[in-house]
Copies of this chain bind each other. A is one copy, B any other.
Amino acid sequence: MTAWKEYQEQHKDRFLNELLDLLRIPSVSAKSEHKADMLKCADVVKASLLAAGADTVTIYETEGHPIVYGEKIIDPSKPTVLVYGHYDVQPAEPLELWNSPAFEPTIIDGKIFARGSCDDKGQFYMHVKALEILVKTNTLTNNIKFCIEGEEEVGSPNLGKFVSANKELLKADCVLISDTAMLSLDTPSMDVGVRGLSYIEVEVTGPNRDLHSGVYGGAIANPITILAKMIASMHDENNHITIPGFYDDVVNSTDEERALMAKAPFNEQEYKDELGVKELWGEKGYSTMERTGIRPTMELNGIWGGYIGEGAKTVLPSKAFAKISARLVPNQSSETITNLIINYLQKIAPTNVTVKATLHHGGEPYMTPIDSKGYQAAAKAIETTFGKQPIPVRGGGSIPICSLFEKELGIKIIFMGFGLDSDNLHSPNEKYNIKNYYKGIETIPYFHKYFTEMA
């Protein structure tokens, strides 16, 4: 389809500049101070969909941040693709580790450095531009719906209600999501599964106030020491998670699947060098790819307590806190695991302290079948523009709403991600290669074409 390529070539600078403008809005859903930025961002997303050719776009208020819904219906009898994405981004902290300001997108060596460049503004915006190409070249063969939410990074607390209440509006033949990575532009891949999530915050309280560590040290349990012991107890010497029942519902991968995974290109030395570590770490008995794909994990996302400023302060603190999240694999239930973790933390806490553990958010693991029409259409689209069949892989991250869409709408999710694992998602200096951005925009129209043809 030379018309698509021509149109893209002609407008590529604008396609890039529009994304940069979107990245300038600090739409951090986790922080209440960014409420106005979230509203502004939703407005910009709405305007961009209308400009691209959507018939109607509506901003749906929720109890949290709004959801932008748009659609281009050419013929209700034709196949319909529901594009899901999110305009919210992770907090940018720690700010001092960014080489350029997180919300002033900076292009270096063909890469856009900005919070959200890859996750997920850069990726969902490819779909907006693909819509524009299809509409402006009069080549759209199917219906496209967009559901772009503002709470993915905080666990999509309000999307479920919206989806249940709007099943007819969202009715489609598959959900298409670009919010994952591929191995590289040379080795395209598609995720066939994402892990689930249980994200918990724990607060350990010792004495009712901060104390002098000399006067009271040795008499009173130090909540940091107790919290450290609790955390330490969560992995055994083989880095298995020790919480009773944690692995009970895990569906183990077959030897066949593991053999297939072992064939995916993976250079351990390069991986270590790129991360600056001497040794990898993880559950004994599984390869690195398996540990990040088919196995559940438990990570400390944050810890704090006592004096954390410059210099020394001899304090025995009243409280210590940690943010802990588990990644879950198929058949594990987020609710079950959340309860197991919370109960475990409360049970192992000694009577010298009080422990409060609460859920931030969770999400179910999800697997998509590779023989579905959607997966086949995506694989063919990638083959068309990359010249290679994508390798099916398991992603380590989580997109909590997948199981929700499948349950409520009865359709499969297709993960057609164009990011890279090295894009520093959730980290300082998040980036997205302009090449990947353009390649995504080039590939998506083929997905719609093939999906229509296969339907």
Contacts and interface: CB of A to CB of B under 8 A. Distances in A.
Interface stretch (A245-253, A371-379, A422-430): A422-430
Interface string A88-113: 00110110010000000000000000
A304 B301 contact: no
A352 B93 contact: no
Interface stretch (A9-17, A124-132, A203-211): A203-211
A297 B209 contact: no
Given A225-B231, A232-B232, A304-B304, A276 B208 contact: yes
Interface string A401-426: 00000000000000000000100111
A98 to B, nearest CB: 11
Contacts of A29: 311
Interface string A291-317: 110010111111111111111111111
A222 to B, nearest CB: 5
Contacts of A153: 312-313
Interface residues of A, number: 103
B216 A32 contact: no
A219 B246 CA distance: 19
- Count of chain copies: 2
Contacts of A232: 225, 228-229, 231-233
A84 to B, nearest CB: 17
A119 to B, nearest CB: 8
Interface string A197-222: 10101000011111111111111111
Interface stretch (A159-167, A257-265, A321-329): A321-329
A430 to B, nearest CB: 10
A212 B427 contact: yes
Interface stretch (A70-78, A278-286, A432-440): A278-286
A93 to B, nearest CB: 6
A159 to B, nearest CB: 16
A407 to B, nearest CB: 22
A105 to B, nearest CB: 19
Contacts of A298: 217
B228 A310 contact: no
A309 B97 CA distance: 16
A388 interface: no
Contacts of A189: none
B310 A300 contact: no
22 contacts: A31-B310, A93-B313, A97-B209, A207-B276, A210-B427, A211-B275, A211-B424, A212-B397, A212-B425, A213-B327, A215-B425, A218-B295, A220-B282, A221-B280, A221-B281, A301-B307, A302-B313, A303-B305, A307-B323, A308-B321, A314-B398, A315-B427
Interface of A: 29-32, 90-91, 93-94, 97, 153-155, 181, 195, 197, 199, 201, 206-222, 224-225, 227-229, 231-235, 271, 275-283, 288, 291-292, 295, 297-318, 320-323, 325, 327, 350-353, 360-361, 395-398, 421, 424-429
Given A224-B322, A228-B228, A277-B353, 6 more contacts: A209-B429, A215-B425, A217-B298, A219-B288, A231-B232, A301-B316
4 nearest interchain CB pairs?
A: A208-B276, A30-B311, A214-B397, A232-B232
